[in-house]
Structures are given as C-alpha cells and as structure tokens.
Amino acid sequence: MKKFMLLFPLLVFSCSEDSSVDSSSTLLEEVWLKYKQTISIGAEPIYLTFNEVLSESRCPSNVVCVWQGEANLEFKLFTPSMYERKFNLKIEGFVGRADTVAHKYIDTLGYRITLMQLDPYPHTDSTRQIADYSALMKIKKLE
C-alpha cells in the first residue's frame, strides 16, 4: 500500500494533458516524459525537458530491415541556480525497457540520465505526430 501511495502522485502528474505542467519524480524512478514536457526531480530540484525529436529512422515493427535504425532526441537538464545542459540521446530500433545493455545514458550535472524506451514505435499502418512521442527516462544522482 505504501508503494501505491508513493506512486499515485507520479501517475496523476504524468497523465496531465498540458505538456508544460511540471510534475515531480523521485530519483531512481522511471518516468515517462512527453514531448515538450518538463518535470522536476528530487528535493534539490532539477528539471528535465524533452526538447526535440531530431531524427527518427527506427525500422517499423511490421517491416524487415537490414538495419534497425535509431531515433535521436534532445533533452535539457537544468537547476534553479541556472546550470543548464542540453544533450542528445539515441535509441536504436527494437530497444525497449527490458533491453538494459542497449540503453544509452549521459552523466551530467551530477546525474545519470538514461533513455529506456521511446513510444510510439513506428509502424507503416499508422501515422504519428511529433506531439505523440513519450520517452521513458531513468534519473540517478551520481555519488
């Protein structure tokens, strides 16, 4: 029950319709970040924004490709004291939450930011708008 009480606020905030609304997360938690959404993390706090989808070439799930492709995303990490860092993270095609060795990360401003998954996954039978993208992120404070 305690776990539910801790996760409930995260669920409420992550379902917000307005992508500019800040939501909170605890460190070491996985959190979905919508395109152009900013979240606050931890007690310090730090803020993470999903800025851009720079490229999307992942092989559609219903196609056989020679190369799995990749998506390249831009994020921004910043603090109230105005330290700011923009960075890119790539994710290869067919990489999901369970593929821990394939996850790309960056260490910056004292945190490890890991891109775990990017949705929606391409499919030739559907169209997606850039606003439909969500990235599953894991944030860890470096010791």
Tens-place pLDDT, residues 91-136: 998 877 777 778 899 998 888 999 999 999 998 888 889 999 999 9
**Given this model, what pLDDT does residue 125 score?**
87
The CA distance from 105 to 87, in Å, is 10
The CA distance from 44 to 127, in Å, is 39
The residues, any chain, with a CB within 8 Å of residue 38's CB and separated by 6 or more, are 20, 22, 47, 48, 49
Tens-place pLDDT, residues 64-97: 889 899 999 999 999 888 788 999 999 998 877 7
Domains present along the chain, CATH in parentheses: 2-141 (2.60.98)
**Given this model, what pLDDT does residue 27 score?**
57
Burial (CB < 10 A; 0-12, 13-18, 19+), residue 33, is buried
Burial (CB < 10 A; 0-12, 13-18, 19+), residue 140, is middle
Tens-place pLDDT, residues 28-41: 678 999 999 999 98
**Given this model, what pLDDT does residue 142 score?**
85
β-strand pairing of 24-25 with 38-41: parallel
Q: Is 90 exceeded by the pLDDT of residue 11?
A: no
